[in-house]
Amino acid sequence: MQAKDGTIEVKSGNVFVEDPEGAGRYPQIKAGKFVNIYVDGELIEDEQVVFSDSEIRIEKTGRKAVKNFNISVEEKGLKAFLKLDIQPELKIEIKDLPPSNSADVEGFIKEKNYPEISQSEISIFLLKNKIRYGIKKDIIREIVNKKKERQVSHC
């Protein structure tokens, strides 16, 4: 019997394994960016040998959207700075891999979804923090439209 290495393939997020023939090598799997891999119910940390009857599950490790509001007051309460920390939700897809003896399974960012921020949401936050006067509404509108981290000055 001739030696033929086993193969592992990833297609549409599913894993397909073929065992080797003769003295061939068993395929191995390893988790890359944006994924966790479970083999027979256990999270793998390093490259691991797999078999055709192994239960292999790939879990995407995206990120939920984040929006944090912070405020700092300076010059004895005469200036206030609003800082928004906005991070998008990351939608992850699994890269397809052709059949080979070793698979480094990775995800890639398919899309980024920024959390919605409204002018009223910012205004309510400012009011709760006792910022009522000198609010630059045009800058707040710009923040709402751009959805990026920014500092806003109020006098």
- Residue 149: pLDDT over 70: no
Of 47, 43, 49, 48, which Cα lies nearest the Cα of 26? 49
Higher-pLDDT residue of 114, 31? 31
Please enumerate, as own/partner, the contacts of 2-5 that have beta carbons within 8 Å and a separation of 24 or more: 5/101
The strand order across the sheet containing 42-43 reads 42-43, 35-39, 56-60
- Amino acid, single-letter form, for residue 10: V
The size of the chain, in residues, is 155
| Tens of pLDDT, residues 38-94 | 999 999 999 999 999 999 999 999 889 988 888 888 877 778 888 888 889 999 999
